[in-house]
Copies of this chain bind each other. A is one copy, B any other.
């Protein structure tokens, strides 16, 4: 199935249908923490997208998006990274497609550390080194690269909604950084 086919397939699911499904089933997502790495694989910088939220507030976000019908996890990951960081980001999709964590976003706050008022989303989260040029795409205002120490700053976390801050800290913990 070519990407064009997938888009077509996807279009069969109207916004109305998607709204209906969202209230009835968990929706599968992938999320990526884009990182710059040194030759020894250690992380030198973490990439965060800046977006204007619905409420006009500036927010930091990770790469995130739905897995489509008939799309593999690794293809969804590649597609969303290129959609958010550009076509020449050169992401190094992990050969083992097992997430470092599974973030369960519930419409009800407090069930887990993650919250999404629109839906019950289950996100497979990956740390993805990017070797190429990255540029914010679409509605993103900027892409900021922070050192792991800067990214661990509670002030950064406070700028991230719905649990993205928690996910970022979990990623830093998996990478072995002090948090």
Contacts and interface: CB of A to CB of B under 8 A. Distances in A.
A129 B92 contact: yes
A68 B23 CA distance: 11
Nearest to A92: B92
A40 B124 contact: no
What band does the interface of chain A fall in when counting residues whose beta carbon is under 8 Å from B?
35 or more
Contacts of A85: none
18 contacts: A21-B21, A25-B25, A26-B69, A28-B28, A28-B122, A35-B95, A40-B72, A40-B75, A70-B107, A73-B104, A95-B129, A98-B102, A101-B174, A113-B176, A170-B173, A170-B179, A173-B173, A174-B174
Given A72-B104, A169-B173, 18 more contacts: A21-B21, A21-B25, A28-B122, A40-B74, A41-B92, A41-B93, A73-B104, A92-B129, A96-B174, A98-B99, A101-B174, A102-B124, A113-B177, A166-B179, A170-B173, A170-B179, A173-B174, A174-B174
